[in-house]
Amino acid sequence: MQMQKAIIGKKVGMTQIFDESGKVIPVTVIEAGPCVVTQKKTAEKDGYDAIQLGYAEVKESKLSKPELGHLNKAGVAPKKFLKEFRLEKASEMNVGDEVKADVFAAGEKIDVTGISKGHGFQGSVKRHGTHIQKMSHGGGPVHRHAGSMSACSDPSRIFKGKNGAGQMGLDQVTIQNLEIVKVDTELNMIVVRGAIPGAKGSVVYLKNTVKNVKEKGAAANASINPQKASARTNPQKASARNR
C-alpha cells in the first residue's frame, strides 16, 4: 500500500492546549519541513515510483563526498537527513520541489516514526515490567533479579526471547493513527494529539496512517438477530411469547 503524503520533521516537545469545551488535550509539537525532493525514482528505470526527501541544512564539511555529490547532482543544498517515501503521486513531483507542513491538515490521521529514548543497560524489572521477589526475611540482595528461567539438565540453556536484562530503548518505534490538532504554515509546525517516540530535537517521519478505522454509528449498535429486531417492531410476536 503506497502512502499519499509524507514529510520529515523534528520533535520540539510536548505541551497541552484546550479545546472549545475547555478540555485539556496533551499534544506534541513537531517542526515539519520544509523538505526538498532530492531524488525521484520511476517505475520505468527503478521498478517503482518513489521520491527522496531531504531535511535540515548542514555544512558541506559534515557530509561525505558521495553524499555531497548526490545532492550536488540534484542541485540541492546540503541536507542532514534523507528519507525515501513511496507516494501515490510521486510521478507528479520533480527534483527540487518543496514539501511544507501544509501538506497535512487539521483532523487528519498520521503515523509517526522515530527512535525511542535510550535508557542504557537496564534490569528485567524496568525493561520488561517483571515482578520483584518477596521482600520477606531471607530474600537477600536479589529482590530485583530475574530468578530461575529454565530447567537444569534439559534443555540446559535459556531460550531466546526471555525477559532478561539488556539494552533498553534506542529502537525504531511507530505510533499509528495520531490525530493532527493544528497546522501552522508560517512556523512549519504540526501539532498532534498524544506522545510520539524520541527525545526533544530528534528527527521523526510523518506519513498518512495505514489504519482504516470506520466511524461508529447507529448501525454498529443494532442487533444482528432478526428475531429480536422483529420483536421490537412487531408487538404481536412479543406479546405471544409473554403469554
Question: pLDDT tens digit string along 191-236?
Answer: 999 999 999 999 999 999 988 766 666 555 555 565 655 555 565 6
**Four-CA torsion 188, 194, 198, 204, nearest 10 degrees:** -40
Domain count, the chain: 1
User: Is-above-0.85 flag for pTM?
Assistant: no
98 with 34: CB under 8 angstroms? yes
Residue 103: give its domain's CATH number. 2.40.30.10
Q: DSSP character for 10?
A: E
Of the candidates 100, 85, 102, 96, the residue with the CA atom closest to the CA atom of residue 37 = 96
Q: For residue 153, is pLDDT > 60?
A: yes
Q: Which residues form the domain of 10?
A: 6-118+169-213
43 assigned to some structural domain: yes
pLDDT for res 242: 58
Identify the pLDDT of residue 183: 93
Question: Could you tell me if residue 155 is inside a domain?
Answer: no
Determine the pLDDT at residue 155. Answer: 83
* 77 assigned to some structural domain: yes
Q: Is residue 236 part of a domain?
A: no
